[in-house]
């Protein structure tokens, strides 16, 4: 297929922007990029898609997603994190069935594809969500995914003892060995669109011995590890009181640092800890909307970037962000640090787009395959229609994309050479069916959990 007559943000090493550009795709690979006239002459008989001046970007990469939380979107708005977890999120997730897990995954994946995310890193799939069903949802949808299965052996959160809902507690054998079984079964499935990672709970939910055991297995199997760390001050306090260590020093002591690790949130860090992240090649997933909404604090992204840490971007989940739209998340990442530092030049639009594309690919160990539009790479791309009132004029397409666009402007999405969204319509799933099933399962879930969620204002 030839996608032609477009402006192309390649995100290659030179960050070239092609006007009147075209991309030739054969199988699941990009075989040529250039001016439309040149590629039309080179591929005269190929099926072509005339994009009429629309924008093409690499598929967006969300490095922190909770698929199960799509079904509980908005369940705990305007609550502090510990209360948010212990009274709402864990109670609902602790009542999940495998069917709920599948339905919630389809809802989250559908939203991601429709808003331009072609690859995501799921952070911690509990056994009760049904890993097989969620992997099946990935396979059916056409998206690319790294699915991290939960690892834990303690039912606490940082300084909060006996805080976890019983339905969320798993043993070493259920969690660790379960993830290994899923890695044997699903790693490389769906034409290598599906990878299996470890997703251990935050310190306080995992013994140091289990962290070390998991880290060794991950090294042997070359598996990725992703974990929430230093999200709230309670994390830092817990590790200092129990181990006398900072969050990053503790992570190092149990084998969690390195180029196959994506640590999430990372708000409560010192400069020395950031230096250690850079020295070890450990990646960070920045979640500005979630951290802001839950009042967790602000990640020191400018300092991380200055010190050479690879920082990617994540939306988090339905209760902490309320959407899985990475284009909207880009704007938040670009403006938050300006407000905090009083520097309008800090973290510009170009840097944020890097975080959502090539930096995300690097964090997942896939930058040789995705994250930029280059010959030989996999054909994961997004077409965006900027001919809208709120994105006109679009003189600088990078700034317009980051500061003015939303996922609603996504026109076409290709993953692994297959078009999965065309002219704003999802081709691999029935959106109405996805929403209908999500509403049905959400209602039953709230009833099982005994939670009656109502607006604060009177209803008549």
Topology of 2-58+375-426 in CATH? Urease, subunit C; domain 1 (2.30.40)
Q: What is the pLDDT of residue 10?
A: 98
3-state secondary structure (DSSP) of residue 121: strand
**pTM reported for the whole predicted model:** 0.98
Q: Rounded to an integer, what is the distance from CA 434 to the centroid of its chain?
A: 20
What are the domain boundaries of the chain? 2-58+375-426, 60-363
Beta strands at 29-35 and 381-384: parallel, antiparallel or unpaired? unpaired
Helix (H, G, I), strand (E, B) or coil at 190: helix
Burial class (CB in 10 A: 0-12, 13-18, 19+), 395: exposed
Q: What is the pLDDT of residues 140-168, one digit of tens each?
A: 999 999 999 999 999 876 555 557 889 99
| Cβ-contact 126, 170 below 8 angstroms | yes
265 bridge partner residues: 229
Res 82: pLDDT: 79
**CATH fold of 60-363, please?**
TIM Barrel (3.20.20)
The pLDDT assigned to 164 comes to: 85
End-to-end distance of the chain based on CA atoms, in angstroms?
55
According to the model, what pLDDT value does residue 433 have?
Answer: 98
CA distances, 191 to each of 123, 194, 331, 361 (Å) = 22, 8, 33, 18
What sign results for the dihedral spanned by CA atoms 348, 353, 358, 359? positive
- What are the helix and strand counts (H, E) for the chain? 19, 17
Angle at 438 between CA 433 and CA 440, to 5 degrees: 95
pLDDT at 155: 82
Q: List, for residues 302-338, the tens digit of each pLDDT value.
A: 999 999 999 999 999 999 999 999 999 999 999 999 9
Would you state the pLDDT for residue 162? 58
What residue ranges of the chain have pLDDT lower than 50?
A: none
Q: How far apart are CA 130 and CA 99, in angstroms?
A: 8
Distance between CA atoms of residues 338 and 301, nearest Å: 11
């Amino acid at each position: 297929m030839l996608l032609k007559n477009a402006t192309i943000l390649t995100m290659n090493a030179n960050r070239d922007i092609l006007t009147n550009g075209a991309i030739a795709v054969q199988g699941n690979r990009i075989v040529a990029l250039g001016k439309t006239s040149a590629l039309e002459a080179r591929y005269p008989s190929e099926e072509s898609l005339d994009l009429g001046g629309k924008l093409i970007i690499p598929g967006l990469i969300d490095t922190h997603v909770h698929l199960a939380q799509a079904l509980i979107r908005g369940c705990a708005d305007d609550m502090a994190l510990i209360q948010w977890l212990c009274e709402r999120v864990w109670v609902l997730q602790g009542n999940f069935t495998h069917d709920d897990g599948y339905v919630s995954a389809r809802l989250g994946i559908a939203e991601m594809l429709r808003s331009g995310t072609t690859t995501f890193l799921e952070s911690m799939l509990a056994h009760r969500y049904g890993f097989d069903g969620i992997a099946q949802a990935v396979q059916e949808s056409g998206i690319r995914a790294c699915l991290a299965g939960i690892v834990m052996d303690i039912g606490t959160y940082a300084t909060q003892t006996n805080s976890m809902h019983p339905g969320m507690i798993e043993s070493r054998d259920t969690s660790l060995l379960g993830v290994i079984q899923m890695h044997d079964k699903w790693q490389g499935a769906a034409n290598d669109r599906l990878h299996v990672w470890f997703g251990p709970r935050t310190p306080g939910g995992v013994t140091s011995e289990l962290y070390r055991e998991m880290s060794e297995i991950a090294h042997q199997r070359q598996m990725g590890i992703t974990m929430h760390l230093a999200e709230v001050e309670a994390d830092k306090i817990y590790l200092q009181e129990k181990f006398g260590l900072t969050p990053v020093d503790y992570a190092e002591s149990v084998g969690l640092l390195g180029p196959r690790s994506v640590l999430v949130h990372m708000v409560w860090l010192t400069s020395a800890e950031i230096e250690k992240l850079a020295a070890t090649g450990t990646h960070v997933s920045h979640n500005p909307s979630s951290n802001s909404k839950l009042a967790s604090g602000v990640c020191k992204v400018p300092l991380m970037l200055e010190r050479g840490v690879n920082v990617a971007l994540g939306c988090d989940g339905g209760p902490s962000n309320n959407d899985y739209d990475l284009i909207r998340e880009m704007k938040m990442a670009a403006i938050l640090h300006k407000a905090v530092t009083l520097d309008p030049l800090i973290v510009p639009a170009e840097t944020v787009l890097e975080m959502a594309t090539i930096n995300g690919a690097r964090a997942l160990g896939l930058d040789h395959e995705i994250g930029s539009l280059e010959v030989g790479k996999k054909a994961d791309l997004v077409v965006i229609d900027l001919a809208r009132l709120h994105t006109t004029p679009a003189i600088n397409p990078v700034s317009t994309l980051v500061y003015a666009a939303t996922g609603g402007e996504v026109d076409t999405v290709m993953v692994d050479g297959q078009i999965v969204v065309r002219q704003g319509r999802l081709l691999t799933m029935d959106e109405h069916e996805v929403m209908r099933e999500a509403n049905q399962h959400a209602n039953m879930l709230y009833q099982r959990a005994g939670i009656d969620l109502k607006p604060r204002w009177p209803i008549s």
